[in-house]
Structure 1
Amino acid sequence: MKPDVDWFRRKLEEHRLSQSGLGRMLGIDKSTMSLMLAGKRKLSLTAAADMARLLGVTASDVMEHMGVRVDGIKAGGAAAPQMLPFEGWIDDTARVQPESGAGKRKRMVDIGVNVEPGSTAWQWRTPQTKMDILDGWIVVSGARREPDDRMIGRGCVVGTKSGEILLRTIRRGYTPGSHTLLGLGIPESAEVEVEWYAPILLMKPATA
């Protein structure tokens, strides 16, 4: 499979980047970038994760549009499954409850695919609620980021300056420095100040 050059061109335009500008941000020279987009030079998982962060997509998106099949990667395959720290529970209002236990060693979750460094796993705990259908599903979020324009319109785990952690889609607020948070049939919230966000990379059923 050849790289989808048109897809990369669209993503670069969305972020007002040139091919050479993206290469500079990745520490990749112009000729190497050209070879990658021509399918003549392999893209490492590390470079894919960095490129995904800059383009506001997942590492899987980057790899697939580079012509690499990344679905269903298992141990012993081209890339080993990734163990992620389990961070907490998501309730039926999409509020996140960090796993309790100070000093407790974090549990690790095998999500079966490689994602960007710093990613974490969460799990829906919603039995006998309106969100029962999602009970047990795993949510994988990317590394925490400081607020920026790339979070607008994306589903994210969001940390607010008031101390809440929520699973929401972020919209621009009506006053400088504020945002509104939407999601899952929940009415638009009051304006909040976002402390950090972690984009949702994937969601999948829990495996036995």
Structure 2
Amino acid sequence: MKPNVEWFRRKLEEHRLSQSGLGRMLDIDKSTMSLLLAGKRKLKLEKAADMARIFGVTVSDVIENMGVRVDGIRPGDTSAPHMLPFEGWIDDSARVHKEGAGKRKRMVDIGVNLEPGSTALQWRTPQTKMDILDGWIVVSGPKREPDDRMIGRGCVVGTKDGDVMLRTIRRGYTAGSHILLGLGIPESTEAEVEWYAPILLMKPASA
């Protein structure tokens, strides 16, 4: 899907902003803004959140008008109930915390069939820099051993040090390591990946 350029034009007019003016507010240079609106560059999650605040709309509005489906369901799809348990929650640094042992897991209706082994997580970020995502649901596929398919993808990542987080994976500088780029935060680290689970969809909790 391509960005909805007309939607962005209207929002700029409503807020009396130029494309370059919006770019300055987001700390994005003019050429990168042009690439974003042409669908040739991906908008980072934290920039989508900042843009939503500027325009006074939801993050869903920004992401969908950038040409990215946030609910995983195409128009006309049959939305049959498909329940997944919440396996844990995500903090404002995009680290994953498992639900407490013995706690009865809450269930969420994803509304679309996914491959077996998929899991649901939820952002819990009230009154933080990522508060606009508070309550959003992230669904990832089953865990996989590291392979080339994870490169450049947003994933739930488990490192050999025992950390679990949401990151975009790039090739590392040393054998066996990968660069884990912050998904929604300006952070990166180099680590050995033990497993990954590709992010299949994100959706607001109320959707």
Contact 2:93–2:185 under 8 Å retained in 1: no
1:84 is paired with a residue whose SS is strand
Contact 1:158–1:196 under 8 Å retained in 2: yes
1:133 is paired with a residue whose SS is helix
Contact 1:86–1:122 under 8 Å retained in 2: yes
Q: Which runs of 4+ in 1 moved over 6 A?
A: none
Structure-1 residue corresponding to 2:153: 154
Cα distance in 2 between the residues matched to 1:200 and 1:154: 8
Cα distance in 2 between the residues matched to 1:126 and 1:173: 30
Is residue 2:128 matched to residue 1:129? yes
Structure-2 residue corresponding to 1:83: 83
Structure-2 residue corresponding to 1:11: none
Cα distance in 1 between the residues matched to 2:85 and 2:167: 21
Equivalence map 1:1-208=2 (5 Å): 69-70=76-77, 73-74=78-79, 80-100=80-100, 102-183=101-182, 184-189=184-189, 191-207=190-206
- Total equivalences in the alignment: 135
1:117 is paired with a residue whose SS is coil
1:180 is paired with a residue whose SS is strand
2:188 is paired with a residue whose SS is coil
Cα distance in 2 between the residues matched to 1:150 and 1:69: 29
Cα RMSD of the aligned pairs, angstroms, is: 1.9
1:179-198 Cα deviation digits (max 9, x unpaired): 01012232221x21111100
Measure how far apart 1:116 and its partner are: 1.3
Measure how far apart 1:69 and its partner are: 4.2
1:67-104 Cα deviation digits (max 9, x unpaired): x942xx33xxxxx221112111101100011111x233
1:122 is paired with a residue whose SS is strand
Higher RCO (CA-CA < 8 Å; seq separation 6+)? 2
Measure how far apart 1:112 and its partner are: 1.3
1:34-87 Cα deviation digits (max 9, x unpaired): xxxxxxxxxxxxxxxxxxxxxxxxxx69xx7xxx942xx33xxxxx22111211
1:106-162 Cα deviation digits (max 9, x unpaired): 322111111111100000001111101100000000111111000000000001111
TM-score, reference length from structure 2:
0.61
TM-score, reference length from structure 1:
0.61
2:149 is paired with a residue whose SS is helix
Give % identity.
Answer: 77
Structure-2 residue corresponding to 1:28: none
1:158 is paired with a residue whose SS is strand
Structure 1: where are the runs of 5+ without partners? 1-59, 75-79
Cα distance in 1 between the residues matched to 2:81 and 2:114: 9
Partner amino acid, structure 2, of 1:175 = T
1:171 is paired with a residue whose SS is strand
